[in-house]
Every structure is written in C-alpha cells, then in structure tokens.
Chain A
Amino acid sequence: MRTAGQSRLSLASVALGVVLLVAGSYWGLARAPPEIFMGDVQRIMYVHVPTAWNAMLALVFAFVCALMFLFTNDWKWDNRLEAAIEMGVVLSILLCTQGAIWAKPTWGVWWDWDPRLTTTAVQVFAFGGILALRAFAADPMKRAVWSAVACIVAFADVPIVYFSVKWWNSLHQAQSTPDTVSSAFHWPLRINAIGILFLWTGLVALRARLGALRLRGELAPPDGGPPLVTR
C-alpha cells in the first residue's frame, strides 16, 4: 500500500513537472521578447539553463546518496544513488546537446574545447562510467560500495564545472544572476527550472523503486523463500 502511494506521488510529481515545463516553454517561446543581440535564438536558454541547474542538483543528490550509503549500508541509498546518477547523466547529455544547438548560430561552431564544455564532457563520461561499472559488477555489495566511492571521486568535477567560467578565460558566458538578466526573461527560466525539478525528482523516485525490485530479485534465496532485503 505504501509503495503504491509512493508511486502515485512520484507520477504526480512527473505530471506536475510536465505541466510546468509546457507552461514555461510556451511563455519562453511565445510571450517573452527576443533578446537584443541573440534574437530568437536566446529562447533556447529557457530549457538549456534549467537543464544545467537540475543536472547539477541531480548529481549533488547522487553525492549525498553515496555518502549516506557508505555511512549507513542501507540499500535504499544505493537504489537512489543509481537513479540519481542515471538522471544526472541524461540531463548532462541533454545539456550538451542543447548547448551545441545554441552554439552553432551564436559561436559559429557546434562544439569548442572551452573549459566549461570540456569539464561538462568529463562529467558525462565520469558518471556514465559509474553506470557502466555497475553493469559489470555482479555482486550487489561490491557494486554498491564501488559506485558510491566512484561517485564521490567523480563529484570533484561538479564544482569545477560550475566555477570553470570564473577560474579560466572561457568562451562560455559566466553565470547570470537576477540582476544581470532582464526581468522579462525571469519567469520562463524559473517555471522551467521548477518543472524539470519536479520531473526529475519523480523519475528518480520511480527509478529507485525499479532498482529496489531488481535488488530484491538478486538477493532472493534460490529456493524461492522470502527475500533477504525488502526495502
């Protein structure tokens, strides 16, 4: 009963996220004015920037899950860790794709080995590598410990991604603040950011549930008796 309620809550979160994302995108595409230099191409920012914020949040959550698993040995944190890393990788790949589509008309190239882009590529491969590691490790405990440790190591890149535009001379623009962005652009950015937040939290909860079911199958005794892990 508790599981069914949690699943419904997760689905409601996903649905709310979709509604907000549609509303924010409509505002950004149809109601917000074009930017003075980038024109209509700037409208890509209403999905690119919220994706970037949420990719980082998902990976911060993965880092917290990794620490919690190592401290508590509770399987629910391993399930959440796997879900958050998968979400973080999906959002990071999406972020790079949106960025490339924006870069072509503004920079003239799809990709440049600039510090922000390079560190983001490292982020994709580092966390994608952890998912690959998990796929190869058959023993659930080794898989959980190795991926938690690897996540803590890979997480070192996340603040580097964030500060790369401040630390190095970058083609990518520095972080914007409400003071440096016209108020006409605020709401589509905020609505889409909150929409993606609801979307990924709901999806991570569902993905963690999937991980828990798989783990229960892995840890079940071969004679068909009760599973050793019920979380």
Chain B
Amino acid sequence: MVKISFRTDRCKGCGLCVTACPKKLLAMDSEKINAQGHHPATITDASACVGCASCALICPDCVITIIKE
C-alpha cells in the first residue's frame, strides 16, 4: 500500500505536481488556504496512487513524502 502525505504548510501552490502525476490524481485544494496564503496540493483518490513519486520529484519545496508499506 502506498502512503502519500503532504506537508501543506510548505506548499506554494505552484501546481507542478498536478502536471507531473501520470494518473492525474492530484489537484490544488480550493477549499483550503495554508499559512502562506496558497491553495495547497492534495490527492483526490489516494487508493489509486501507485507511488511513482513523479509529483515529489518535481516539487520544488519537498512537500510530498511517499512511503510504500
């Protein structure tokens, strides 16, 4: 099982992770605003994540951590 977690307080809302996800699972959370004033990245369907880490690889701010259990 893949566990993906976001350090949302560090997210600058650039959206690069959304473009990198091959399964189009990521989105910017328009319901939330973090301390920096950005809509942080979130995953729409965590169960479909394959843990390829493309999002984490392109994230400039090390927001995403991926663990395979």
- Bound pair (A, B): no
